[in-house]
Structures are given as structure tokens and as C-alpha cells.
Amino acid sequence: MEFATESNRLFIVESFSPIRYPKRYMSNLGQLMEHSPFCERDIRPPHNLQTIDQAGDFLIQTKKKGMLYGIHYAHHPFDVVGWDGCCYPYAFSIHDFEPITGRVHQPPPVHQTFETNTFVVCSFVPRLYDYHPEAIPAPYNHSNIDSDEVLYYVDGDFMSRKNVTRGMITLHPAGIPHGPHPGAVQKSIGKKKRRNWQ
């Protein structure tokens, strides 16, 4: 990967099963439906591939179930002209994620971006807050019965927690009740929209 600047932070998530679009956003024909927070046009496959036609001994490190395996190829792995099939790298910009909003507080699954057999990835992006006149924008106290909750704070000021800043990670283990810090609920009342990213 190449970056235009050295000012980068990477949060890498790996899965033992495929990372896919959430089932509830997919039609039975495999297309993202209109109520999905993003669509196929937002997915960017590789382009402007640099083709290298070269023979030799090329070692590729392949990761499978947490183990790295060395595979030797007799030709450079970039001896390609395009991608075909169903397994290829792609990019998705979080700026293309269209948040789902409602009159009252929406549960975390509306923020879901991807899913695997064992975990989901949600994106809490800038959005219009709940617009019922008596809505409380701060999330409610809850306990995840069958899942841990890991949050990575990309940027901004997280409404429900104090002293949480950019680049931090919090963990809320399964079964442990958690919610807004004291005073956060009252402070959230009357807020109209989120201007930060998680």
C-alpha cells in the first residue's frame, strides 16, 4: 500500500471467515438493496494495475487460521491484467456510508457495515440525531449478552463517554452492563447531529 502522506493510522481487523455485506442488505440475487447504507458503486476494485512479467523465485506469505505459510511462485505475482471471479481486494471509503436515522434512537445494527461468521463491523459516522421532540440522542444503558463490544475512535468527541479521544480503543465485554457516563444523557438532549467519526 502507498499513502500520500506519512500521517496515517491503521486499525486492522482480520477474520477466519469471509468478511461480507450484511445479509439483510442483500437481495436473493446478491445485490445490495436500496435500504442499504452503501451500494455497489461505492466499492472500488483494483485499477491501473502494474503488470510485472518476470520469472524467478517469488515467496508469498499467505495467512490461514493465524498461521503464515510460504508459497513459492515461478513467476511474479503481479503478472496480471485484471481481476475475475468473486475473491479480489477492494476499497470502501467510509465517507460513502449513508447513516440510517430515525425519530428515536436507532439500535447499533443500523450502523453495520460488514459481517463475518463471528463478528460484525459497524460505522458510527456523522449523522442527523433522533428527531422526535422528546428523543434522547445518547445511547441507552445496555448489556450485550453474546458479544464483546470493541470501539475504535477515529476522530471527534464521542457523546456518551468522557475523556475518550482520537485513536483510543474501548472494550465492553459480553454481559457487562454499560452506557453513557454520568451527565452524558442530559448533555445530549437538544443536540441535532453528530459531526465526528468512529
d(CA 157, CA 198): 9
- Indicate whether 105 and 151 sit together in one domain: yes
Verify that 158 and 193 share a domain, yes or no. Answer: yes
| Total residue count of the chain as it appears in this document | 198
The bridge status of strand 120-122 relative to strand 149-152 is unpaired
Q: Is the dihedral of CA 21, 26, 32, 33 positive or negative?
A: negative
**Domain-located, residue 69:** yes
User: Which CATH number belongs to the domain containing residue 127 in this structure?
Assistant: 2.60.120.10
Question: Tell me: the pLDDT tens digits for 135-189?
Answer: 887 777 888 888 899 989 887 666 677 778 888 888 989 988 888 777 777 777 7
The pLDDT of residue 194 is 62
Q: Are 104 and 13 members of one domain?
A: yes
Is the domain of 114 the same as that of 142? yes
Please give the residue range of the domain that contains residue 196. 1-45+98-198
Give yes or no: residues 52 and 34 share one domain: no
Cell representation of residue 135: 428523543
| 34 and 123 both lie in a single domain | yes
Rounded CA-CA distance 46/43 in Å is: 10
DSSP state of 179: -
* Co-location of 193 and 109 in the same domain: yes
Q: Do 56 and 36 share a structural domain?
A: no
Residue 62 scores a pLDDT above 60: yes
Question: What confidence score (pLDDT) does residue 157 get?
Answer: 65
How many domains is the chain partitioned into structurally? 2
Rounded distance between C-alpha atoms, residue 92 and residue 43, angstroms? 5
Digit-coded pLDDT (tens) for 87-108: 778 899 999 999 999 988 888 8
Beta bridge partners, 162, equal none
Rg (CA), the chain: 21
Tell me, yes or no, whether 53 and 149 share the same domain.
no
Q: Which residue from 128, 117, 121 is spatially nearest to 16, judged by alpha carbons?
A: 117
pTM over 0.85: no
- Tell me whether residue 85 is in a domain: no
Residue bearing cell 475523556: 163
Domain annotation covers residue 84: no
